[in-house]
Amino acid sequence: MPIGPNGVFDLTDIPATREAVRALAETIADTIPDEPTVTTHEIQVPRAEAPDVPILLLRPQNAPEPLPVIVWFHGGGQVLGFAAQDAPWLKQLSAALGCAVVSVDYRLAPETPAPGAAEDGYTAYRWISDNAADLGLDPTRIGLAGQSGGGGIAAATALLIRDRGAATPLFQLLQYPMLDDRNTTDSSREITDIGIWDRATNLLAWQALLGDRVGTEDVTPYAAAARASNLAGLPPTFIGVGELDVFRDESLDYAARLRACGVDVELHNYPGAYHAFDLFAPQSQLAESFRHTWNNYLARHLTKAPATPTAS
């Protein structure tokens, strides 16, 4: 990996790193065979008092309707990335599972501080739920999923959905999620100087997201999901994280707290794995095992009826 003095993701120059991430995503996309059975629709989700939320709706042509839905949040520490970066492999996932995928092009920090991204996620989720019948989608089978910073947004979106009384998602699938701005866990102090989303990069990302609020009592759960004092009533949850990930302990803690509140949790901690190991070493046995595990989780849950939420 081309690791510079400020790591793979140089957050000391966010505009330049965004351009580099886009170029890398386009290069990777060229290596992934197209999935012609899945169509792509660009939609602007309207709302009254904020900008429209762009989404990509991916749907398989040959699957029976109404389709279950995965609402997906891309990675990038909530400061980098874009919805289309994951479209090549999300199309393959859509075809394999016979489901629609909604990739949310949420607003990034520092231009939009937290919890702007979670508000975008909530808007997209509500719009998909409210318009499901017209789109050939199943409003009772909509799950949330996200990767890294996007996993944090998925978790915060689930909290907004619960607290505003919207229909409970079928699940939340969180891949090495970014949950806690305080950076006080053992892993947040241990994972330094490796160049792939280590402590230094994470501190810069949270600073971009929260500014002077970072680490204070002024941070809401919709900006950092680990701040939630009550996790009851959230959907069944999958969490996967690596042993050498700066997010390891906040992920393990979130899983334990969810379980203590009666939420069904499937937790996987991968020994020897660093942050986003499945993206940086996709041919490794560990990455293949991880993909199989969370794909299996999605396949099982997308065929289920929604669970009755626990009272909060």
Report which residue type is found at 63.
A
Active site residue 129: no
**Nearby residues of 23 by Cβ (< 8 Å), 6 or more positions away:** none
Catalytic residue among 74, 268, 275, 301: 275
Catalytic residue among 245, 249, 268, 278: 245
244 in Cβ contact with 188 (< 8 Å) = no
Catalytic residue among 148, 187, 188, 251: 148
Active site residue 105: no
Active site residue 148: yes
Catalytic residues, which ones? Answer: 148, 245, 275
